[in-house]
Amino acid sequence: MTSKTIEVQGRVWLRINGKSLLGKGRLELLRQIEVTGSISRAASAMRMSYKSAWDAVDAMNNAMGMPLVESASGGTRGGGSRLTDAGRRLILEFQLLEERHRQWLEIASGDFSARLSAK
């Protein structure tokens, strides 16, 4: 049998009691909100509609049972949105989880390829 490298792949997605919480796209949305200070500007940066971004934020806040993003209404200083401490913690923990997952995928790929090509 010719030696072939087989790559194990997968993605991390968090759910709470069956409700979608966080994956790669929502993680980027939270990052963009942190950078831009606005759900609207974050949505624009990601080329998604404001409604889709707002729905994603609302779904994350509801799934967690606490706000990850807080929004302020407009006014003389304008509105805006910011991540809560819980939102920032979730980003950091998710990034750690993704790194561990990436490491596991590399190990699993090497192990699988080695077992498959063993004689």
Q: Give the mean model confidence (pLDDT) for residues 37-51.
A: 96
pLDDT digits (tens, 9 = 90+) for 50-60: 999 999 999 99
Q: How far apart are the first and last CA of the chain?
A: 9
* Comparison of pLDDT for 78 and 15, the residue scoring more: 15
13, 94 Cβ separation under 8 angstroms: no
Q: What domains does the chain contain, in order, with CATH numbers?
A: 14-117 (1.10.10.10)
**Of residues 115 and 88, which shows the higher confidence score?**
88
Confidence band for 13, pLDDT divided at 50, 70 and 90: very high
Write down the pLDDT at residue 110. Answer: 86
